[in-house]
């Protein structure tokens, strides 16, 4: 069977096999009908959308059905995700979008991390915990939505926000538990929105409404991003940061967690400007791989690892050897990430050198038949690159930053593709009173103290912390073949890397590539791996190559769309995480 035929056959089978029944609850339109089926895989034409919730997917599909393009649909879906996945997405967070413009045959990027307020300095990061107002950076998501539509969309922000306004008012079915309940209970605005009268979070299967966020979206729809960064919304944001709405019975929790008021001012919001950025690009197996630039580390880390793997014949290797090389390449890329990647406005990031094939060749020579002892040392990307292979050396264990994200993948009928990842990091826990959205806790992504001299990820006024997001597009001969992205903090890079290798090297159809068991090596002494990975590969990798593993739960939550040679779309939503929904405009018969 040809690869094309195999892809179509498996995709069609999985589209049926992986469709699961939604929760028997009121529909999002409030009409009393059961929630439509939750689809993990869809095959068809006319455009495709994959998100973490069917309400978000339907919003994107409806925009495509009415003639909107992939950028239009991505913004609409992301705004709905701010309701359905509120801890990980929304107006109080940050976003990155990688876009392929089919008619121009070029990739572009829009996005930004949340910069530190003007009054936030290095000492403020010391002892900072994830909960509370001091951890909040200047939100960027709303500006990203507006800029993307202005430059590359076909509809207004007002129209793009209409589906989210409707969902906020009429409600949606809760598919997974709202996260970090202890954090939310500390603030009156958060508990009033996300807990019932018994201080219990709304359960999975319940109908949830957020009219406050619907009203916020209406204000933004009417006044544009300016309505968010100036005026009543901005004043409410600053007030909730400078005077956090701490619950009376949470004083002890606040004292134990050392919660402090934040330092954001109205001037921080009013002065915010979205910087111009360009996507990273590398060639891998004849494909162009586009992703996010620094201070996001997803694009550079995945791209460097791919460059290292380019010199290995992974399809011609047995699977254990290929996985060993994948794990080792990830160690090396993460070592360089920690040493060199930060906000390029504040530190010199040698991105061109890090993503050069010459440097990858130099790093590849360190990979042998025995696992390198991690953490390995970073390399020196300064050219020229000789053929001498130095010892790997010992590196520094990086601080683990806890975060989660939300992802939307969209491809339209014209071949435009979008990979769009958003985050609130792990959420400060603070809901802006009366406006219904969480504020991020981006400042926790700075390292609390230097890991080494010249650490690029230390807090400074106005600086962006290093991030992990990797919204990625794969293009061949001017045509997109894959939109992929992942939620999962520092596991994002390894999950995107693994899916790309599964799909491009091992020939797995996208549903199989996403479903495959995962491991996540981030230059640590042992590699966290899902039980399925350990059961299938752990013993052989340990015995043959000396790899060390630790068992963990689910790694990453991915959404993606592949474009088949006949032009049909295979949209896939990861079963991990409890949600996930993928649809096409015209399903295959």
User: Which of 28-32, 64-68, 185-189, 565-569 shows the lowest per-residue confidence on average (mean pLDDT)?
Assistant: 28-32
543-577 pLDDT, tens digit each: 999 999 999 999 999 999 999 999 999 999 999 98
Residue 2 has pLDDT above 50, yes or no: no
Q: In three state form, how does the secondary structure of 504-528 look?
A: HHCCCCHHHHHHCCCECCCCCCCEE
How far apart CA 89 and CA 25 sit, in angstroms, is 24
What is the model's pLDDT at position 129? Answer: 79
Q: Rounded to 5 degrees, what are φ and ψ at 342?
A: -160, -165
What does the mean pLDDT of the chain come to?
91
Under 8 Å between Cβ of 328 and 312 = no
Predicted confidence at residue 390, as pLDDT, reads 73
pLDDT value for 402? 54
Residues 473-530 pLDDT 10s = 999 999 999 999 999 888 999 999 999 999 999 999 999 999 999 999 999 999 999 9
Cα angle: 12, vertex 17, 19; to 5 degrees = 100
Asked if residue 312 has pLDDT above 90, the reply is yes
3-33+49-201+208-275+400-449+466-587 CATH fold: 3.60.20
Q: What is the pLDDT of residues 219-277, one digit of tens each?
A: 999 999 999 999 999 999 999 999 999 998 888 888 877 788 999 999 999 999 999 99
Better-scored residue on pLDDT, 39 or 37: 39
Q: How confident is the model at residue 447 (pLDDT cuts 50, 70, 90)?
A: very high
Residue 178 pLDDT? 74
Q: What is the pLDDT of residue 335?
A: 97
Q: What is the pLDDT of residue 42?
A: 98
Band (pLDDT 50/70/90 cuts) for residue 321 is very high
CA 473, 85, 158, 115: dihedral to nearest 10 degrees? -70
Find out whether 414 and 425 touch, Cβ atoms under 8 Å: no
Residue-level pLDDT at 32:
41
Rounded Cα–Cα distance for residues 340 and 331 (Å) = 14
Query: CA angle at residue 558 from 440 to 110, to 5 degrees?
Result: 55
* Helix axes 298-309 and 319-340, enclosed angle (nearest 10): 140
DSSP H/E element including 216:
helix 211-223
Q: Say if residue 198's pLDDT is above 90.
A: no
**More confident site: 534 or 26:** 534
Q: Is 83 left (phi over 0), alpha (psi -120 to 50) or beta?
A: alpha
pLDDT at res. 181: 74
Residue 12 is predicted with a pLDDT of 42
Q: Please tell me whether residue 313 adopts helix, strand or coil conformation.
A: coil
* pTM exceeding 0.85: yes
Q: Which two tokens stand for residue 56?
A: 């978000």
Instruction: Extract the tokens encoding 222.
Output: 């009417």
When pLDDT is cut at 50, 70 and 90, the band that residue 127 belongs to is confident
Q: How sure is the predictor about 184, in pLDDT bands with cuts at 50, 70 and 90?
A: confident
Strands 207-208, 280-284: pairing is: unpaired
The domain ranges of the chain are 3-33+49-201+208-275+400-449+466-587
Strands (E) across 63-179 are located at 94-101, 106-112, 172-173
| pLDDT tens-place string over residues 80-93 | 999 999 989 999 99
Question: 495: closest CA among 513, 473, 520?
Answer: 520
Dist CA 325 CA 550 (whole Å): 18
Residue 252, pLDDT score: 84
Do β-strands 472-476 and 479-487 pair in parallel, antiparallel, or remain unpaired? antiparallel
Region 159-174 average pLDDT? 98
Q: How many helices (H) and strands (E) does the chain have?
A: 21, 18
Q: What is the pLDDT of residues 519-536, one digit of tens each?
A: 999 999 999 999 999 999
Checking if the pLDDT of 25 tops 50, the result is: no
- Reported as a single tens digit per residue, the pLDDT across 43-101 is 999 999 999 999 999 999 999 999 999 999 999 999 999 999 998 999 999 999 999 99
Q: How confident is the model at residue 397 (pLDDT cuts 50, 70, 90)?
A: low
Residue 235, classed as helix, strand or coil, is helix
**pLDDT above 90 covers what percent of the chain?**
80
Lowest mean pLDDT among 390-399, 418-427, 463-472: 390-399
What pLDDT does residue 176 have? 82
- Which of 203-207, 294-298, 320-324, 409-413 is least confident? 203-207
What pLDDT, on a 0 to 100 scale, did the predictor assign at position 395? 66
Q: What is the pLDDT of residues 113-125, one digit of tens each?
A: 999 999 998 888 8
């Amino acid at each position: 069977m040809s690869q094309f035929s195999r892809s179509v056959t498996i995709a069609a089978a999985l589209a049926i096999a992986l469709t699961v029944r939604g929760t028997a609850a009121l529909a999002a339109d409030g009409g009393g009908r059961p929630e439509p089926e939750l689809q993990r895989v869809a095959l068809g034409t006319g455009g495709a959308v994959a998100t973490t919730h069917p309400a978000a997917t339907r919003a994107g599909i409806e925009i495509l059905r009415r003639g909107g393009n992939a950028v239009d649909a991505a913004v609409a879906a992301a705004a709905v995700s701010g309701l359905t996945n509120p801890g990980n997405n929304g107006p109080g967070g940050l976003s990155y979008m990688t876009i392929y413009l089919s008619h121009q045959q070029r990739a572009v990027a829009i996005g930004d991390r949340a910069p530190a307020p003007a009054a936030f300095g290095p000492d403020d990061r010391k002892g900072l915990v994830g909960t509370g107002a001091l951890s909040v950076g200047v939100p960027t998501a709303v500006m990203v939505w507006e800029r993307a539509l202005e430059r590359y969309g076909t509809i207004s922000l007002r129209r793009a926000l209409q589906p989210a306004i409707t969902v906020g008012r009429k409600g949606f079915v809760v598919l997974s538990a709202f996260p970090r309940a202890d954090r939310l209970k500390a603030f009156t605005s958060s508990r009033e929105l996300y807990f019932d009268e018994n201080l219990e979070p709304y359960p999975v299967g319940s109908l949830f409404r957020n009219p406050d966020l619907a009203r916020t979206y209406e204000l933004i729809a009417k006044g544009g991003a300016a309505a968010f960064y100036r005026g009543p919304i901005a004043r409410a944001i600053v007030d909730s940061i400078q005077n956090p709405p701490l619950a009376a019975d949470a004083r002890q929790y606040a004292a134990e967690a050392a919660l402090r008021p934040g330092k954001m001012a109205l001037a921080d919001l009013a002065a915010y400007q979205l910087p111009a950025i360009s996507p990273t690009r590398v060639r891998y197996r004849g494909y162009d791989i586009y992703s996010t630039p620094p201070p996001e580390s997803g694009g550079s880390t995945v791209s460097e690892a791919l460059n290292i793997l380019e010199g290995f014949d992974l399809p011609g290797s047995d699977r254990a050897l290929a996985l060993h090389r994948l794990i080792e390449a990830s160690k090396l890329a993460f070592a360089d990430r920690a040493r060199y990647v930060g906000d390029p406005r504040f530190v010199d990031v040698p991105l061109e050198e890090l993503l050069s094939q010459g440097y990858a060749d130099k790093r590849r020579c360190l990979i042998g038949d025995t696992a390198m002892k991690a953490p390995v040392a970073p390399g020196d990307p300064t050219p020229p690159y000789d053929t001498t292979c130095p010892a790997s050396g010992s590196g520094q264990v990086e601080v683990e930053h806890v975060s989660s994200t939300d992802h939307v993948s969209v491809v339209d009928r014209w071949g435009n593709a979008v990979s769009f990842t958003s985050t609130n990091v792990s959420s400060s826990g603070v809901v802006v009173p009366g406006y219904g959205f969480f504020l991020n806790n981006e400042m926790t992504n700075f390292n609390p103290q230097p890991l080494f001299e010249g650490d690029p990820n230390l807090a400074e006024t106005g600086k962006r912390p290093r991030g992990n997001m990797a919204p990625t597009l794969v293009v061949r001969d001017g045509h997109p073949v894959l939109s992929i992205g992942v939620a999962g903090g520092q596991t994002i890079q390894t999950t995107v890397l693994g899916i790309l290798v599964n799909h491009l090297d091992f020939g797995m159809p996208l549903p199989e590539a996403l479903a495959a068991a995962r491991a996540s090596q981030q230059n640590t002494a042992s590699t966290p791996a899902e039980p399925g990975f350990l059961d299938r590969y752990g013993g052989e990798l340990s015995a043959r190559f000396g790899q060390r593993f630790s068992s963990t739960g689910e790694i990453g939550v991915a959404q993606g769309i592949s474009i088949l040679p006949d032009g049909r779309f295979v949209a896939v939503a990861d079963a991990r995480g409890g949600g996930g929904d993928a649809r096409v405009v015209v399903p295959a018969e």
